[in-house]
Structure 1
Amino acid sequence: MNQNKLDGHDNKEKMPLGKMCQTANACTEEWQLIAMSYCSLKDLNQSRDDWIIIARVIRCWECINFKMNNDVFSIDMVLMDEQSNVMHGTIPKNRVPKFRSQIHEGCIYLIRNVRVIECDTSYKPVEGTYRIQFLMTKSLKEIKEPRVAIPKFYFKFYVIHDLDNRSHDTTLLSDVIGILNGIGEIQEIISTKTHKRYIRLETITISLWGKICDEINEVLKMENGKAIVIIVTSTNVKEFQGDYL
């Protein structure tokens, strides 16, 4: 199967994150000391609950229970460190109120008191054995220093024409990229009090749910007569009447 990994860097001069956090303007003295003992994501395991990491939130989303009045049952994210290691992170429902306003997609954080748990066996957004779970005792500090050696995005694309091989594999979700050549009207799903919308990327149809149905309108405003390339992450591939969604 053809796969393509894409990560994004800016072109500014970089410095190691631990050294960066020891500079006078980056963190307080306490956080400078913490930054000296941070670990790579690939080194995390279940042996302790006090790991310290520095990572960028490259993707962040709410997991919604459409059958329970669109209740948020977790906030999930993909984290990446300066070595381009990626890991799934989760904020459970009871901790969402504490962390919702503190976590922002694209930002870099120094995080302490990290718990590591086993990944679910299906529907994983990235490959890996473990994922990070936020504890109530977790502390985090945004690092606003611009010279940071962490990519801004990461995708592992599956070629559209090969998605038929993914239709029965629920272990890992699929990132896809393609030219937008069709978009449907927003449909109201009465039974779950949410919205649904179909878009067409080349030869496949993708179902969008919830807030993203409206967000794609902003993409259409940028069309200006040119082809629009769309990236859709963490898709679950299913076959329906010979098509893949």
Structure 2
Amino acid sequence: MVYKKLSELTSRGHTWNIKVKVTRLWDSATDELLSLDMILMDEQGDVIHASIWKKLIDNYKTQINESSVYVFSNFKVQESQKYRPVCNDLKITFMYNTKVKQVKETAESFPEYYFDFASIDTLQDRANKDQHLSDVIGLLTRMKPIETRMTRKNTPNPRLAEIREIELLLLGGDKIRLTLWGQLARFFSEDVIGNQTVVIVTSTTVQEYIGLSLRSSSATRIYTNLHIRETWTLIDRQFSEETIPKMMEVDKSTQGTREEQMFYNRKTLKDITEMRHGNPGSQEFVFTSKVTIDRVQENIQWWYRLRLQISDHTTSTSCTIFDDVAQSMLETPVSSLLNLLDGKNDEIPNIIQQLCGKQLIFKFKLSEQNLTEGTPNYVVKRTFVPDYMLEKQYLINKAEEELMDDDVDNILKQDRETDQQQELEDSDQEIMSEDELTSSDKPPSCKQIRRRTYIIEDDSEEESNETSMIKCVDAKVRGKNAKGAHAKPTKAEIRNDNYSHEINKSVVQESIKAGKRQAKTINGIGKESSVEKRKKTYVQPDNIACNTRPQRTRKMNSKCTDSA
């Protein structure tokens, strides 16, 4: 029997016979099984994509196995329109009368693997297009723990899916992130961390927003450390500590409750648009902001992305929302909107035009261009509908934090002044001790009496400092409240004044004092007892004349002078 080479097939005729090896076999599915697909390879190494549609799967599935050799005849050849897993413009489709015959010979005469590795330039050309699926090879450099995501939110069958994000160092030295979905998320175990690993990932889709990234498909297959030429080339070229896999942290902006995510890193648009960073690749820049949609940009492929002009009370800018996030925001599948337009795809549906004037919370992820060049068109990762009570509570909490920060600054300032005063007193005390040692028989001078009298006051001064500190803070609070006296206070502000603020102040004050006392004890300063101070400052019962006017002292000082 004469077999046709795959390179000789055309889209005209159905009577060819081909002898091929099934190199890969997989189920194509979304919510349900769509087709059984395979990659066929002849002895010359040429390949073609073949599909068996859903209605015929049961007729052929048991007859075809991966890595086996078959003779196929009576099939249809047609142009491949979307998601080509191989570099071939044609595709084989099985019909009801397609013949399948297994050949009892080994597959050694056929190449073992087929890959079409894409360079970074090729990936750039394929970004956000559905014509090709891409194979990549690279050294595993980083990997995130497994996360869960809700998929198909706007369909009758929403479901949770597992994902894992990995990072690969490609042959050309470029790094790219790849998200593995479903069962592929569990392909790598944490044992791979610390061990240099060459990874091959086939049939990925390419996306470009917030940088270039890849995503697995139902046709994706993963291989590690295959004995092929590209593996050894990659190891020889990129061997360094940088290529040892490490574990990445989970994106905190996706963790927690919905309410927590709504206020994650809340910023104004002015804060976001003015943000700059010299090395944005070292971390992620994710923020939320409450915005108003001013305008929907026209003359774009709205079914693929929406470009909006937005603003808040600080400034305005533009942003882009891609299909998945847009469908979630509109709560309507794009396919339904296209059906309503009846082929007039250039028109923007009313449901999109009605977004103008609405207030929403956008979660932005800033790209390298946003941070280094200051370009607009910020990408929106998720949208939320504002909750009035949550927004009100957020503003109250923010006001409390700002007030607490002012109180802490004021208390710290007073403590610094107290420390400086204490240092002066300690130096005076040292001078006085030296005077006592050198002239113990001489009557004390008026200046010495003043110094000693002042030191006695220090015993009660700590309590007075504490009291004055609290009074200063209270005065600060009353001063802030007086500024807004003409404004009608809210219930939350009244509750705050009555209870929570006083507790917060006392906690801050006690924490600062405790740390201060502990530092003094460590430095060996300590606090002298009242008895020791009385001994040092006791005035001898001599009739000492003083030409200066006596200082006014407190109760304790008067007792000492009376006894004298």
TM-score computed with the length of structure 2 as normaliser: 0.33
Per-residue CA deviation, residues 134-153 of structure 1 (Å, 9 max, x unaligned), is 11212222234226421121
Residue 155 of structure 1 is aligned with which of 115, 138, 145?
Answer: 115
SS in 1 for 2:116: strand
| Alpha-carbon distance between aligned partners in 2 of 1:236 and 1:186, rounded to the nearest angstrom | 20
Residue aligning to 1:123: 83
Contact 1:114 1:134 (8 Å CA) reproduced:
yes
Contact 1:196 1:207 (8 Å CA) reproduced:
no
Per-residue CA deviation, residues 34-55 of structure 1 (Å, 9 max, x unaligned), is xx12211111223322321111
Residue aligning to 1:210: 182
User: Residues 188, 117 of structure 1: CA spacing in aligned structure 2 closer, same or farther, 3 A cutoff?
Assistant: same
Residue aligning to 1:232: 201
User: Residues 224, 239 of structure 1: CA spacing in aligned structure 2 closer, same or farther, 3 A cutoff?
Assistant: closer
Shift of 1:172: 2.2
Instruction: Give the AA of the match of 2:22.
Output: V
| Alpha-carbon distance between aligned partners in 2 of 1:140 and 1:174, rounded to the nearest angstrom | 29
Residue aligning to 1:145: 105
Asked which structure has the greater CA Rg, the reply is: 2
Shift of 1:211: 2.8
Per-residue CA deviation, residues 166-205 of structure 1 (Å, 9 max, x unaligned), is 3255432211011222143042435443524122223222
Residue 111 of structure 1 is aligned with which of 62, 65, 72?
Answer: 72
Residue aligning to 2:168: 201
User: Residues 150, 194 of structure 1: CA spacing in aligned structure 2 closer, same or farther, 3 A cutoff?
Assistant: farther
User: Residues 162, 45 of structure 1: CA spacing in aligned structure 2 closer, same or farther, 3 A cutoff?
Assistant: closer
Contact 1:160 1:177 (8 Å CA) reproduced:
no
Residue aligning to 2:3: 38
Instruction: Give the AA of the match of 2:2.
Output: S
Per-residue CA deviation, residues 91-148 of structure 1 (Å, 9 max, x unaligned), is 111111222222222222111222112211x321122232101112122222342264
| Alpha-carbon distance between aligned partners in 2 of 1:147 and 1:209, rounded to the nearest angstrom | 32
| Alpha-carbon distance between aligned partners in 1 of 2:150 and 2:68, rounded to the nearest angstrom | 34
Query: By percentage of residues, which structure has more strand?
Result: 1
| Alpha-carbon distance between aligned partners in 1 of 2:144 and 2:104, rounded to the nearest angstrom | 38
Residue aligning to 1:8: none
Residue aligning to 1:64: 29
| Alpha-carbon distance between aligned partners in 1 of 2:97 and 2:5, rounded to the nearest angstrom | 20
Residue aligning to 1:77: 38
Instruction: Give the AA of the match of 1:84.
Output: G
User: Residues 129, 211 of structure 1: CA spacing in aligned structure 2 closer, same or farther, 3 A cutoff?
Assistant: same
Which sections of structure 1, spanning at least 5 residues, go unmatched? Answer: 1-35
| Alpha-carbon distance between aligned partners in 2 of 1:135 and 1:185, rounded to the nearest angstrom | 41
Residue aligning to 1:9: none
Instruction: Give the AA of the match of 2:205.
Output: N
Contact 1:55 1:81 (8 Å CA) reproduced:
yes
| Alpha-carbon distance between aligned partners in 1 of 2:11 and 2:117, rounded to the nearest angstrom | 30
Which sections of structure 2, spanning at least 5 residues, go unmatched? Answer: 170-174, 215-564
Contact 2:206 2:212 (8 Å CA) reproduced:
no
| Alpha-carbon distance between aligned partners in 1 of 2:197 and 2:51, rounded to the nearest angstrom | 32
Instruction: Give the AA of the match of 2:29.
Output: I
SS in 2 for 1:211: helix
User: Residues 243, 47 of structure 1: CA spacing in aligned structure 2 closer, same or farther, 3 A cutoff?
Assistant: closer
User: Residues 168, 225 of structure 1: CA spacing in aligned structure 2 closer, same or farther, 3 A cutoff?
Assistant: closer
Q: Which has the higher contact order (CA 8 A, sep 6+)?
A: 1
User: Residues 128, 227 of structure 1: CA spacing in aligned structure 2 closer, same or farther, 3 A cutoff?
Assistant: same
Which of 200-209 and 174-183 deviates more?
200-209
| Alpha-carbon distance between aligned partners in 1 of 2:114 and 2:67, rounded to the nearest angstrom | 11
Instruction: Give the AA of the match of 1:195.
Output: A
User: Residues 100, 209 of structure 1: CA spacing in aligned structure 2 closer, same or farther, 3 A cutoff?
Assistant: farther
Residue aligning to 2:539: none
Shift of 1:223: 3.9
Identical positions, percent: 33
Residue aligning to 2:213: 244
Instruction: Give the AA of the match of 1:91.
Output: I
Query: By percentage of residues, which structure has more helix?
Result: 2
